[in-house]
Every structure is written in structure tokens, then in C-alpha cells.
């Protein structure tokens, strides 16, 4: 009987030292963005009735941000767990992270800008989650996007 060749599978061993400084910034800011989606993004005050708030998922498309944030965090955990990724990406890891964090920023910015309108005694403002989420989305994309912007500015 012949022995079939056995594939050696890399073992998962979480070591955060495998993450670059940029990975750490992207991961930390993405985690903050994820948490901000559950904080008040918009406050509502109705004259004579009281006030309330809605979270960052008020705009249904922000569920995309929620899913993408989880994907970024999962990817970084995998990256920290293996010496080399156990799968191939169609683009490099930095380009993939830049695309996802860029989309997160775009959606957070759209959600921030398009707050519900104030009408007929109903006053709508931004909540703390909107500011935290927008800042976190900017910080998450910055370490990946700034080098590209700088290189284009030199041309």
C-alpha cells in the first residue's frame, strides 16, 4: 500500500506581534467604528413629548459597514494567527484593507451627512456615535490611504 501525500496545514497561533503598526491602527479604529454603530447617531426631540435617539444602523445601508467591520477584524485575527495567510486574495492584503476601509468611510460619511430632517416641532441632531464613527472611519483608512495620496502628490 502506498502512502498518500499529506498536506501540512499551518496551525493557528494568535500572535498580535505579526500585525504591523498600520494593521493595529486599522483594527483599533475599525473596532471603534463597529462599536459606534450601536451608539446614538441621531438625536430626536419632539416639542412637548420628549426626546430619544437612534443608533448608527438607522440608515439600513450601515449594516454593510457593520459586516465589513467584522470582516476587517476577522481578517486581522487570521493575519495575526498564521505566519502566512491560509488563502489567496485577488489583491494584496493592504489593497483589500484599503478598499474595505474606504467603503466604510464612504458609507459613514453619507450616513453622517444625510441625517433625518427636522420638521414640524421635531428637532434632529447628531449624536456622539456619529462623530465617533466618522472619526474612526477616517482613522481606519488613513494609514493605508495617506501613502497613496502622498505618492500621487509627488508626481
DSSP 3-state of 88: coil
Residue 15 lies in a domain: no
Residue 84 lies in a domain: yes
Residue 17 lies in a domain: no
Residue 33 lies in a domain: yes
Residue 7 lies in a domain: no
What's the domain range around 89?
A: 24-154
Residue 16 lies in a domain: no
pLDDT tens string, the chain, 155 residues long: the values are 555 556 667 788 878 888 999 999 999 999 999 999 999 999 999 988 999 999 999 999 999 999 999 999 999 999 888 877 777 878 888 899 999 999 999 999 999 999 888 888 889 999 999 999 999 999 999 999 888 777 777 76
- Chain CA centroid to CA 107, Å: 10
Predicted TM-score (pTM) of the model is 0.84
Residue 82 lies in a domain: yes
Q: How many domains does the chain have?
A: 1
Helix 128-154 with 21-36: angle, nearest 10 deg: 150
Residue 10 lies in a domain: no
Amino acid at each position: 500500500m502506498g502512502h498518500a501525500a499529506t498536506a501540512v496545514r499551518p496551525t493557528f497561533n494568535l500572535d498580535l506581534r505579526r500585525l504591523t503598526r498600520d494593521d493595529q491602527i486599522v483594527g483599533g479604529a475599525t473596532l471603534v467604528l463597529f462599536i459606534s454603530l450601536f451608539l446614538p447617531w441621531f438625536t430626536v426631540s419632539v416639542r412637548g413629548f420628549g426626546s430619544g435617539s437612534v443608533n448608527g444602523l438607522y440608515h439600513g445601508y450601515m449594516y454593510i459597514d457593520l459586516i465589513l467591520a467584522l470582516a476587517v477584524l476577522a481578517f486581522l485575527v487570521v493575519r495575526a494567527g498564521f505566519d502566512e495567510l491560509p488563502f489567496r486574495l485577488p489583491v494584496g492584503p493592504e489593497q483589500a484593507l484599503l478598499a474595505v476601509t474606504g467603503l466604510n468611510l464612504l458609507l459613514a460619511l453619507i450616513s453622517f451627512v444625510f441625517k433625518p430632517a427636522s420638521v414640524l416641532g421635531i428637532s434632529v441632531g447628531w449624536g456622539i456615535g456619529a462623530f465617533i464613527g466618522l472619526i474612526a472611519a477616517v482613522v481606519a483608512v488613513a494609514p493605508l490611504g495617506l501613502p497613496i495620496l502622498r505618492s500621487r502628490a509627488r508626481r
